[in-house]
Amino acid sequence: MTSAPTGSTVAEARPASATARRRKRFSLVRWTGWIYLLPALGFYVVFVLVPFGKSVQYSFYDWNGVTTAAFVGFDNYIDVFTNPARLGTLANAFKLIFFYTVLSIALGLLAAVLTHKLSSRLAGAARTILFLPQVIPLVGAGIAWTWIYSRDGMLNQLLATVGLGSITRAWLADFDWALVAVGFVGTWVLTGLCAMLLSAGIGKIDPSLYDAARVDGAGPVREFFSVTLPGLRPELAVCITITMIAALASFDVIYVMTGGGPGRSTMVPGVEIFQLAFTQSRVGAASAMGVVLMGLVLTLVLLLQRLTRERS
Q: What is the mean pLDDT of the chain?
A: 88
| pLDDT digit string, tens, across residues 95-104 | 999 999 999 9
**Which one of 3.40.50.720, 1.10.3720.10, 3.40.630.30, 2.40.240.10 gives the CATH number of domain 71-207+235-311?**
1.10.3720.10
Q: Do the Cβ atoms of 284 and 78 come closer than 8 Å?
A: no
Q: Do the Cβ atoms of 170 and 202 come closer than 8 Å?
A: no
Q: Do the Cβ atoms of 308 and 237 come closer than 8 Å?
A: yes
Residue ranges of E strands in the chain: 61-62, 70-71
pLDDT of residue 210: 85
Within 13 Å of residue 33, how many CA atoms lie on the same side as its CB? 5
Q: Do the Cβ atoms of 59 and 288 come closer than 8 Å?
A: yes
Taking phi first (over 0 means left), then psi (-120 to 50 degrees means alpha), and beta for anything else, what does residue 163 get? left
CB atoms within 10 A of CB 98: 15
Listed in sequence order, the residues at least 6 apart from 197 whose beta carbon sits closer than 8 Å to its beta carbon are 108, 235, 238, 239
Q: SS3 letters for 125-184?
A: HHHHHHHHHHHCCHHHHHHHHHHHHCCCCHHHHHHHHCCCHHHCCCHHHCCCCHHHHHHH
pLDDT of residue 128: 86
pTM: 0.84
Separation in Å, CA 201 to CA 19, 133, 211, 231: 44, 21, 18, 7
Low-confidence stretches of the chain (pLDDT < 70) are 1-29, 310-312
Q: Distance between CA 225 and CA 231 in Å, rounded?
A: 10
Closest CA to 171 of 188, 156, 186: 156
pLDDT of residue 26: 59
Burial of 29 (0-12, 13-18, 19+ CB in 10 A): exposed
pLDDT of residue 198: 93
For the chain, the domains span 14-58, 71-207+235-311
pLDDT of residue 10: 47
Q: Do the Cβ atoms of 28 and 263 come closer than 8 Å?
A: no
Q: Distance between CA 183 and CA 126 in Å, rounded?
A: 23
∠ CA(298), CA(229), CA(193), 5° rounding? 55
